[in-house]
Amino acid sequence: MNKYLRLYVGIGVLFCVLVCSIGCESAPKKRPVYQASVWENPEWENPEIFQINRENPKATFYSFPSITEALEDKNWQASDFYKSLNGTWQFYYTDSVQSRPEDFYKNDFSLKGWDTITVPSNWELQGFGLPIYSNIKYAFPKNPPYIPHHMNNVGSYKRSFNLHKNWDEKEVYLHFAGVSGAMYVYINGEFVGYNEGSKTPAEFNITEFITSGENQIAVQVLRWSDASYIEDQDFWRISGIERDVYLRAENPASIKDIKLNGDLSNNYTQGEFSLTVDLKNTSKSDGNKRIHVELLNGDTQVFSKDKALKIHSGEEKSIAFQTSIPNVKPWTAETPNLYTVLIALKDENGKVEQATTLKTGFRNITIKNSQFLVNGKPILLKGVNLHDHDESKGHVVDEALTLKDLTIMKQNNINAIRCSHYPKNTFFYGLCDQYGFYVIDEANIETHGMGTTNQGLDKKPELKKVHPAYREDWKQAHLDRTMRMFERDKNHPSIVTWSLGNEAGNGDNFFATYDWLKANDSTRPTQYEGATKYENTDIQAPMYDRIPQLIKYAENNPKRPLILCEYSHAMGNSLGNFKDYWHVIRKYDVLQGGFIWDWVDQGLVAETEDGRKYWGYGGDFSAGHLHHDANFCLNGIVNPDRTAHPGLEELKKVYQNIHFSEADFKSGEVKITNEYFFTNLNHFKIDWELFKAGKKVASGSLGVLDITPETSKKVKLDLPELDYSENEYALNFSAVTHKKLPLLSKGFPLAKAQFISGKYSPKFKENSKEIISVSATENDIVFKSKAVTASFNKDSGELSSLDYGNGNIILKGITPNFWRATTDNDFGFNMPKHFGIWKKATENSALVSMVLKDEKSTYDIASIKEINKKGNSIQLLASYKLPDYIATLQIAYQIDASGQITVKTQLLDVKKDLPNMPRFGTNFIVNKDLDNVNWYGRGPLENYQDRKTSQFVGNYKASVSELYYPYIRPQENGYRTDIRWVTFTDAKGQGIKITGPKFLSFSAHHQYNSDFDAGDTKQQRHTIDIVERDLVNINIDNAQMGVGGDTSWWTRPLEQYQIKAQNQSFSYRIIPIQ
């Protein structure tokens, strides 16, 4: 072989090696496949086995080696007694029990080919398995307590860890804050324990399993189990280790649990402090110890006590402390005053062995005379329901997101949170203590798929025989979940009520959990929606009772305070008649508020192939073939990223605690009411502004007023002299924080009001003395003057062209409009079926005649061959027949030589017994250039006739695209009501103005109305399906019915916010803007 050939061969071999090397690196790793033996009688199909070797539940507190460190008030990660196991784990996912790695927990088990996963997380959002959203129906065949093995997904986790060197003589515990699924735990190849119950901690003593060197932990989680039957909440069914995992170390003699309470006496001025510390000695020798306790108000010590005790080997002992604190600062959601409780365990020489701090607040919760009282006051609970939800991480919610939620809530006058439908992360309660929220803590129990008390279960005895709430073999599981919630959270002052669960029947097991809570906590009431007709609830806590039901309860000798556990279902474009709810709640003492369903849309971030992001819902993420409840997870008043729905502003207005009434424009007097129960209005600054026809003409400040809680005061403004005869005035009030308050900066607006007085006089264009002529072409009737050329199609009667000297602006002429794109609430009562005749009427009106009129004569367009007519103003009357002869419609156009066009729409001869109309209005489409919108009416946000109290009458500007609100499932949006006038202009300021003799409503989009309409049934549509078109689609209406919101499954808007099918008319004028 010559040298050149050898060189070529060498290069070729090297090339092949490189290619092979690169190819091997990029080739997918081979994933192992396992075949497990048949799993006989598993724990996860036995309701009487919900834990093995799990430690008893205890209160949340974190231990530190010194008092100094404990007083720094940091979390567990700052202490040497803890070691985080969060982070990257080896992971193997399989769709079924049969294909799980059975021996994965063994130390010598090969993990070659396994994936990795981040802990905490839900594995379905990490690319393993499918996220399923279901409201009620189980994701598996209903047959409690059994789960089909072939469809039970399994996640196997494994990682190694090393212990801290100073842990050699300590007891070591493995702590899982929350695991969604049935969990088996192994250390170094040995079985440690088992747990069910996803939202409260599972802790195991692993001291005997660990070594001083490297250790292995293995966890196997089954997606479904018997526990899934009682965790049937309305949320994403996603799995895995979803909260923190850590190790913690304890000295052999240590503090095991803490129970504290801050009550009030002496007319709520004296604090009654009580503390019980539980200790345990696991060492082989007795110990002489000292417990040191301090109560601190900031840095000021208000109580200090040391107690000595001897604790024998293997002994558990409790030691109690009590004292009274005069002139205590009470805790409420308005005034979240907290005291620090320091507890230190010392040896007999005074050396600190363990120190911890907790926060406590002094408050008194009682029910008296059928009222729920906090510190003696019948507070109003202005609440929301809160699910754990992160738009990317699912049920993995961190402290930063929780703080963001609480901040937005405070900014919108929300003072109460129901933990729907399970206990939250521990830091949630600490933040509620600190910043002030009334919390209903709810046990992780919902058995909706098996039937619920107030939804027919009481009449189905056969179902009760298999229902977990009624069966003895499920009783301990119910008690376990209740006890774990209570023991973990018992020390938080923000928790004012316990809830037994949600939609889970009301058998003996709920009487047992109620009795247990009453026996173990005399400081708080207990509630349960399923017990509204039974005795095992202290609060009447119905869901979705409508206004007549509330009135009936309040007026018929009520025995319990009524607080709606769920109401105002905020799905999509909703929250209608919210002010009507609160008008009634404020009227009756026994009605004390409620919790909106719910806070956040449970949408998950999805992405198209070309990189466009949107929020997906049930049936997305390749799970459309499985049972799902579509977008019923989108019930929030904020989006998944916590941006606001338009309805949030309405909630804020209705929930506000400062009210303005009896405004007298002549005397300048206004009444200001303080609805706070513990806060003087001297925390706020009150300003006012006076507007004339949308333009500010005066303003002033009332400054800081001394108005005590639950009182009112009349104050006087320095208003200028007003002319009411031809002018409309708006007097606006705002209340902003005068000082920094919890989660609120100084100057933050919390309350507002508007009063309208005078008379609005629309300004129409005076007709010129010029002449307008009328002629005919083959297809059109043409009106022409120096100011305007307007054409009407002979076949349709529609305005086909409108030219004010700069070209035609009309793309589609004026047509009647009785329909709206169906909202989620509309689908709830099946509007396409019940009101569908009006959609048919919108789409299928037929022209009957076209008539020309002037002062002297009338001409039927169909009967004359030529038109040659002139005048100062000419009327064209188009008459239409609506389908099925339900009515006739006339649209009359008065075309003036000035270019002004008056449009009058009349609905006549309306057939009897027709359903109500979604809307009565008109629609037309203009050039996209008319993109700038200016209106005088309610704004700036979207509003409807039953959701407009927060949107004040004013002069507003926006682009057409800014009028659109992108609900996650496209539907009716972007409406504005009580419009005096609206203009649509191009970049040069040229366009049209629309005004009427009475108030109008309008919307405008770069889409057709039909773009937002799913049709007769809901479709799997998203914001990415809404495409911007080269047009401006305008709706000018007499009215659109309210959006409703009592429920999203059968109720319609309140009767006063619907539109009767009857003879009616409205008019407006189109005026050129040159």
Catalytic annotation, residues = 503, 566
For residue 132, the number of C-alpha atoms closer than 13 Å in the C-beta half-sphere is 19
The partner residues of 190 in beta bridges, in order of sequence, read 187
In one-letter notation, the amino acid at residue 174 is L
Q: How distant is the alpha carbon of residue 883 from its chain centre?
A: 41
Task: Look at phi and psi of residue 896 and say left if phi exceeds 0, alpha if psi is from -120 to 50, else beta.
Answer: beta
CA-CA distance, 836 to 833, in Å (whole number)? 5
**Residue 507: other Cβ atoms inside 10 A:** 22
Secondary structure of 1005-1062 as H, E, C letters? ECCCHHHHCCCCCCCCCCHHHCCCCCCEEEEEEEEECCCCCCCCCCCCCCHHHCECCC
| Residue 207: strand, helix, or coil | helix
CA-CA distance, 199 to 164, in Å (whole number)? 28
8 Å CB contact between 343 and 321: no
The partner residues of 917 in beta bridges, in order of sequence, read 1059
Q: Based on C-alpha coordinates, what's the Rg of the chain?
A: 35
CA-CA distance, 247 to 161, in Å (whole number)? 10
Q: How far apart are the first and last CA of the chain?
A: 92
**Residue 48: other Cβ atoms inside 10 A:** 13
What's the burial of 212, exposed, middle or buried (CB within 10 Å: 0-12/13-18/19+)?
Answer: exposed
Task: Supply angle C-alpha 482, 483, 486, rounded to 5.
Answer: 90
Closest by Cα among 736, 862, 880 to 814 = 880
CA-CA distance, 428 to 398, in Å (whole number)? 9
| Tokens of residue 1055, six digits | 């009767």
| Tokens of residue 769, six digits | 């003395």
Measured CA to CA in angstroms, residue 237 lies from 230, 390, 462, 1047 at distances of 13, 14, 28, 23
> Prior bond to 646 cis, omega within 30?
no
CA-CA distance, 446 to 510, in Å (whole number)? 12
Residue corresponding to tokens 């799980």: 100
> DSSP secondary-structure letter at 645?
P
Secondary structure of 53-109 as H, E, C letters? CCCCCCCCCCCECCHHHHHCCCCHHHCCCEEECCEEEEEEEECCHHHCCCCCCCCCC
8 Å CB contact between 131 and 236: yes
| Tokens of residue 333, six digits | 């959601």
> What φ, ψ does residue 76 adopt, rounded to 5°?
-60, -25
CA-CA distance, 398 to 401, in Å (whole number)? 6
| Pairing status of strand 728-737 against strand 749-758 | antiparallel
The partner residues of 219 in beta bridges, in order of sequence, read 157, 185
Helix (H) or strand (E) holding 568: none
